[in-house]
Amino acid sequence: MIIRVEYFYYFLGLMLALVALMSFGDRTNPRRWTTGLFWTLYAMVYLVGERLPPAMAGLAMIVMALLAGFGGVRSGKPGVLPDDARRASAAKLGHKLFVPALVIPAVTMAGSTLLKDVRIGELFVLDPKHLTLVSLGCAAVIAVGVACWLTRSTPLQAGRESRRLIDAMSWMIVLPHMLAVLGLLFSEAGVGKAVAQLTTTYISLDSKLVAVAVYCVGMALFTIVMGNGFAAFPVMAGGVGVPILLAKFGGNPAVMAAIGMFSAYCGTLMTPMAANFNVIPTALLDLADRHAVIKAQVPTALPLLGANIILLYFLL
């Protein structure tokens, strides 16, 4: 294959390394050394992560968590265009500003469909094992080029804008990565078996309604804790879904999985741990209340969770 998914990991690592260098050199940031170290460690994960011993990679993540937890990651003042210049440029370009954003889905779909089986000699043009990710990576690079061409800017300015957005999102940009690791740790540690033992010991699951409610509410609660429905699923499926809903009540696995994940998404609406959905938007919009998005979503999430319990009870 010619274009592999690893190339985009390296590209992302280089971008994060550039952000780290800019952070180190930003004297307006009172925590520039710890901020730069944080992004250096994250860049290292993408650049040499496969070559690092697992213990070293784990240590890097622990150091990153400590840096973020003790307030070591702060925003500086990236070298971006003044507001007046940005408004003038936006007014001049008009609807053309949407072109780079539209390039991303268009190129991704084209790569995933039209270039799926294209080869040069014996080699696939795009990595067939990670076709969608590679197509998305190509689309992102092309979109940056189109944006630079439209705005007559340089790739370095694109790097500055990347740093501005990363500074606005801060350490929360790393949270989905961390939570994915947490889900794997929970699975390896046998949390699902522990949940099964606790629920069967303290809750009577002889009633189908109670079992369904425990499963759906558990999916939402574990998602609130871990911020990721995919991390919650193996825990609750292994603890309640498979042994109780499927084995005891003879449920349909497809229905159990689908409505279970939908219940998990109810938890996603109610947790700051799902930072990419609930916290990052407030940072980018500069809202005074950091939990404004969550507060707006709770009145939808709770009734929807109740509806999922009813649906699973009748459709299981």
pLDDT in tens, 64-87: 989 988 888 888 776 666 777 777
Residue holding tokens 């294959």? 1
For the stretch 286-299, pLDDT in tens is 778 888 899 999 99
CA distance 133 to 203: 43
Query: pLDDT value at position 288?
Result: 80
Q: pLDDT grade, residue 109 (50/70/90)?
A: very high
Decide if pLDDT at 257 tops 80: yes
For the segment 200-208, the average pLDDT, to the nearest whole number, is 78
| Nearest Cα residue to 23 out of 78, 80, 69, 82 | 78
Element (H, E) at 23: helix 5-24
| Nearest Cα residue to 239 out of 179, 289, 195 | 195
Residue holding tokens 């009577």? 204
Decide if pLDDT at 4 tops 80: yes
Provide the b/e sequence for 241-251 (b: ≥16 CB within 10 Å).
Answer: bbbbbbeeeeb
For the segment 157-183, the average pLDDT, to the nearest whole number, is 79
Indicate the domain borders of the chain: 5-69, 83-153, 174-315
CA distance 79 to 289: 27
Give the length of the chain. Answer: 316
Count Cα neighbours of 227 within 13 Å in the Cβ-side half-sphere.
20
Query: pLDDT value at position 44?
Result: 92
Query: pLDDT value at position 311?
Result: 95
What are the structure tokens assigned to 193, written together?
Answer: 């078996």
**Other beta carbons less than 10 A from residue 77's beta carbon:** 11
